[in-house]
Chains A and B, each alone.
Chain A
């Protein structure tokens, strides 16, 4: 199993690498087109601000590569948001893999949402063995709207999509690498897709 974590300068990716290590799997970090193309499974992480992250993707020519990938790709947090059409954060055009827009939580709740919240209406094998209303760790100020791509929901301010899927592309708003045993199960499920 050849797992590649796309490394484009996006914050804490060590945690994802360590999470795979706890599963007995080695994941390598790379920003090289050829290495990413050759992977069996690809993780697209992201922490930080959308427009600067998009710039870094473009600099590494990853903005054209990612939508063309044929193997399972898992976007995490900002990675998932960048796979959408558009984000209100920095008025950023995304990769358009998910037909979804990303908006900011309203000021009626504390922003960012920070901590453990539940996921429900779980669909696809990504959530195999995961019970409805399982807790996941989330840290974000922007959320993905619910569309046909939605495979898990979370409630904060409104019901929003905390996981998305379109063919071989998956995205999760929460951090499976930081979500204890259940998060680890989701990473394992992704590897087994």
Chain B
């Protein structure tokens, strides 16, 4: 049976790992390649690297990092952040990335999803959506959650699927950084409305939150950063707990 995935996310700035709390304060949690190797050993099912470098130089260090990760890590990984063209994706896949995640660039020019899925296959195209619940409605936000739009999360998710996204990464901005649990009601609705896998992100604080995201949020995978980076939750312990709740995991 297909298992539920646990995915540590590593935010990368100028080649170093950082984690934003509510997307603002940044704390350093080490070297990305070493962290990636460690996570692969400790039972992570996949990894996500999100490049938050603002400069071109910072971005270039990302390609070196991707090459090093591909060389040393034997589980799949996704690269996201600042990807806006077919050429960007071609370069990253050639460096050894398994999947790419696109966000604002896809929202601004949705045809990009069609172009990428046609050229590289849906299976390597993740559309990441940051959304915030405002007056009861889930609205898509861009640029790391800083720019609000009027687009409904579920509408955009369905469009992304139709255009060829192979997977969705949904971050609830209401939950991100709060450690109070995932946005399970929105997740469950999203999972029902699309027929591609959904990765839940934003809000992981304890083991129960992961259990709830799989059981109530119907997530196919959960993504978290700080709880893993600072050793608050060990991935193997988490998976053992999930198994006790009859959630299928790779152990």
Where the two chains meet, the residues of A that have a C-beta atom closer than 8 Å to any C-beta of B are: 11-12, 14-15, 18-19, 21-22, 47-49, 78, 107, 110-118, 135, 137, 139-141, 155-156, 175, 177-181, 183-184
CB pair B124 A110 closer than 8 Å:
no
Contact, CB under 8 Å: B122 / A112: yes
Q: Kindly identify, within residues 92 to 113 of chain B, every residue whose CB is under 8 Å from any CB belonging to chain A.
A: 93-98
Question: What total count of A-B pairs have CB within 8 Å?
Answer: 102
On chain B, the residues within 8 Å of A47 by CB distance are 120-121, 123-124
Task: Give Cα A11 to B95, complex, Å.
Answer: 10
With a cutoff of 8 Å between Cβ atoms, the chain A residues found around residue B1 in the complex are: 117-118, 155-156
Q: Which of B33-55 contact A (CB under 8 A)?
A: 40, 45-46
Question: Apart from A12-B94, A47-B124, A116-B250, what are 12 other A-B pairs with CB-CB below 8 Å?
Answer: A11-B93, A14-B95, A48-B120, A112-B166, A115-B2, A115-B4, A115-B45, A117-B2, A139-B123, A156-B2, A178-B74, A178-B98
**Interface size grouping (class) on chain B:** 35 or more
* CB proximity to A under 8 Å, residues B1-40: 1-5, 40
Closest-by-CB residue of B relative to A178 is: B76
Residues of B within 8 A of A179 (CB): 74-75
Q: How far is the CA of A110 from the CA of B168 in the complex (A)?
A: 12
- The contact of A114 among B93, B118, B197, by CB within 8 Å, is B197
Instruction: Specify the chain A residue showing the minimal Cβ separation from B68.
Output: A18
What B residues does A177 contact at CB under 8 A? Answer: 74
Give the chain B neighbours of A110 by CB distance below 8 A.
195-197, 220
CA distance A70 to B33 in the complex (A): 40
Residues in B with CB closer than 8 Å to A11 are 93, 120-121, 124
Q: When the two chains form their complex, are residues A18 and B220 in contact, meaning their CB atoms are under 8 A apart?
A: no
B221 contacts the other chain (Cβ, under 8 Å)? Answer: yes
Determine if B236 is an interface residue (Cβ-Cβ < 8 Å): no
Name the B residues within 8 Å of A115 (CB-CB): 2-5, 45-46, 197, 220-221
A49 to B114, CA, bound (A): 13
Q: Considering only CB atoms, which chain A residue lies closest to B40 in the complex?
A: A180
- Separation in Å of the B188 CB from the closest CB of chain A? 14
**Which of chain A's residues has its CB closest to B196's CB?**
A110
CB distance from A52 to the nearest CB of B (A): 8
A22 with B74, Cβ < 8 A, contacts A14-B94, A47-B120, A115-B197 known: yes
Could you say which of B4, B70, B119, B250 contacts A15, with CB atoms under 8 Å apart? B70
A18 cross-chain contacts in B, Cβ below 8 A? 70-72, 96
